[in-house]
Structure 1
């Protein structure tokens, strides 16, 4: 009986195996329910293109490695402030290669400085600025070897970048975005870590995050480089150094098929420092120098010659023609109104009424009335762009039976913006501690401005074209590009 069961089981398995193999080799046909014929083929959905990562697999694996087992991070990050009373706004990453055990003993007095975006790197995605730390590639494949060659030729290689999208400490900046600021900084550091690791040179990246002294074309980052590498002001070989950046003020013809540069800040930065400038195309691709233009050109405002006018500074001479009167200023912020008062009207005995100091227009009228009652002549040091606002001062003059004169400050907007930046960023030229004005302040003035006319009720109108007024040392500060 036992043997019969075994034999029967073997027969069943053998039969089943034969049937299964037969089914595999010749599967039965099934009649599917009829469907309406599809006339058009349906293509599979398009494959999503992935951004090629520049972060190595080793870096990804390192993320999951315990901290105690990770290799030493080669980039050291620090933050710098423009002055002791300000929050840090400059982010600095200094990279030391793994094979460099001792500090570089070479005194490298030639500096090769490069902008980052659209100069050393560009995005893989095609966006102007990458959202993720891996969305980057070299602007040209020759760049790493070119920078290594510069280092071999005893250049100090550094990266200088304006990064207004980064906020280092959002809690210290009321208008900073509440979310995402920290992630942007982290992503930027990760991207720079990858870039510096691929270069593998003793180098550093400097990122200016605010519109302060560190932002190009201002030279705050250059000063930090010199300080970090122990270079005195007279030790840098300026003629042998260089700066490469894409913001060169290029404005090609439409027929040439190229786009206009968004600014001239990189070219102006090199001018301020006193080193040669190149666009990426000129330096890495050996293209000929491009045509360029500046909205504001310092060459149009040289230091005035001593015989340019009776004042020696190119200023219009202002004469006091009345025993008591009101002088009303009209002109944009940054046109030199306050400087004109201190140099020419204060010595003539005029008292100043300024809304930046008094804060409200009502208080300006109150103080002006008190000074007129006391027999003083006064200057209304404000912009007064429109005839409606000027009318109120004319009525005040009529009420006190004194003449009112107007000084019209005729200065282009780019000059006023330049003057405003010079004043705000240089304490020696800013006795009233004024902060830099937003673009809205200038745009608003020029949108509302109406030229002053004698028929409004002025005794006369003195037109004042802007000319620099000051000492040679002050001019040396003024005659840099600040925007």
Structure 2
């Protein structure tokens, strides 16, 4: 990222804060007021959490990214002692002022560290920063995996809210808090995840240049998928007539087709389960052979079946069409039309961003290859395959106000 202040007069070399002043000296964190809290947060202990002194909760939060914001981003050489350099000399003074004004100071950082050894080395840097902020209590969260803690998904902010609530403090008026970060979607920024996090939380945002140096707001772009790009007021089912469920007659096989995470199972529960259709799903049965056998067993018993799989190509669908013909059953297709980007977004939402009040448990994150694999092999279903009809189902979000708010956030674990 270009440094907006480089056009000014030359500055003195900034002080470098090393962990060891000379060989054999005791580590500076041996007397540090900073401590990492154990265990780390999250089901996989992927969110590191530490405190300097005893930071008090506050209804107003000053949150900061770390690298490229409070300190200069560096890539330490192997074997070199940890060290850091302030992004600008004014940083510690501004943090002290915020503390004196009653803000809770919180560092929220993504750290893409591939091994435990790299994580351990990185952790040694934070006591140095704490020692240089000896009169400033702060709290730090660091996301080390690509999961619900990784910005812009607000998992680290949710943890902050939870911790504050345990001490009877709520961050009620978000306009009194703010977030400062360098990943703002500007032309030379590495990403836009800091700005997206602030938008997700609903707090004011500034870049380091704006906050620390008083420079004007820069132009930015926000790449990636957002639900605001979806068409409005689309019909749920096309065509709407005739009724989705026919009058009871002979059994039928209904094949669902579409990306994972487009609401196929929910559609079954609301539309077909009340009518007694058998639910065949490979997530439960594990193999296609078992799905085919379960479908045949239901038809033998005179029952209608919904095959709730992705059923991406004609060859896969033919297994079930052959059974329908064998048992003189009807055959229909329900095609869920959402894009890969929407499906991946829904996958992230249900794995990482469901509200605690959500009735159903979180789903495990499906790998991205499940979506690209579907796209590579997909053949759009048509009547020439042997279906009596092909109906299209457009994705329409169904949920309460808080669920819709969280679904409507910027959700990503990779990319810009």
**TM-score tier (shorter):** 0.7 to 0.9
RMSD of the alignment, in Å? 3.1
1:202 aligned to which of 127, 137, 156 = 137
Q: Name structure 1 gaps, 5 residues minimum.
A: 1-51, 97-102, 167-180, 251-257
1:63 aligned to which of 26, 29, 48 = 26
Q: Name structure 2 gaps, 5 residues minimum.
A: 1-14
Q: Is the 2:226–2:409 Cα contact (8 Å) retained in structure 1?
A: no
Which residue in the other structure is 1:219 paired with?
Answer: 154
Q: Is the 1:53–1:134 Cα contact (8 Å) retained in structure 2?
A: no
The CA deviation string for residues 283-334 of structure 1, in whole angstroms up to 9 with x for no partner, is 33423242322422233469x98xx87xxxx566561236321111111111
Compare relative contact order (CA 8 Å, sep 6+) and give the higher one, 1 or 2: 2
TM-score, length-scaled by structure 2: 0.82
2:324 aligned to which of 380, 397, 403 = 397
**How is 1:38-57 mapped onto 2 (pairs within 5 angstroms)?**
54-55=17-18
Q: Is the 2:333–2:389 Cα contact (8 Å) retained in structure 1?
A: yes
Q: 1:193 to 1:184 in 2, by over 3 A?
A: same
Which residue in the other structure is 1:321 paired with?
Answer: 246
- Rounded Cα–Cα distance in structure 1 between residues aligned with 2:77 and 2:331: 58
Q: Is the 2:314–2:381 Cα contact (8 Å) retained in structure 1?
A: yes
- Rounded Cα–Cα distance in structure 2 between residues aligned with 1:81 and 1:275: 26
- Rounded Cα–Cα distance in structure 2 between residues aligned with 1:465 and 1:330: 12
Which residue in the other structure is 1:72 paired with?
Answer: 31
Over alpha carbons, which structure has the higher Rg?
1
Q: 1:261 to 1:56 in 2, by over 3 A?
A: closer
Q: Is the 2:19–2:81 Cα contact (8 Å) retained in structure 1?
A: no
TM-score, length-scaled by structure 1: 0.71
Which residue in the other structure is 1:379 paired with?
Answer: 306
Q: 1:372 to 1:441 in 2, by over 3 A?
A: same
Q: Residue 158 of structure 1: SS of its match in structure 2?
A: strand
**How is 1:124-273 mapped onto 2 (pairs within 5 angstroms)?**
127=75, 134=82, 136-165=84-113, 181-200=115-134, 201-229=136-164, 232=168, 234-250=170-186, 258-259=187-188, 261-262=190-191, 264-273=192-201
2:315 aligned to which of 354, 377, 388 = 388
Which residue in the other structure is 1:443 paired with?
Answer: 372
Q: 1:319 to 1:81 in 2, by over 3 A?
A: farther
- Rounded Cα–Cα distance in structure 2 between residues aligned with 1:156 and 1:192: 18
Give the deviation of 1:481 after TM superposition.
3.4
Q: Residue 79 of structure 1: SS of its match in structure 2?
A: coil
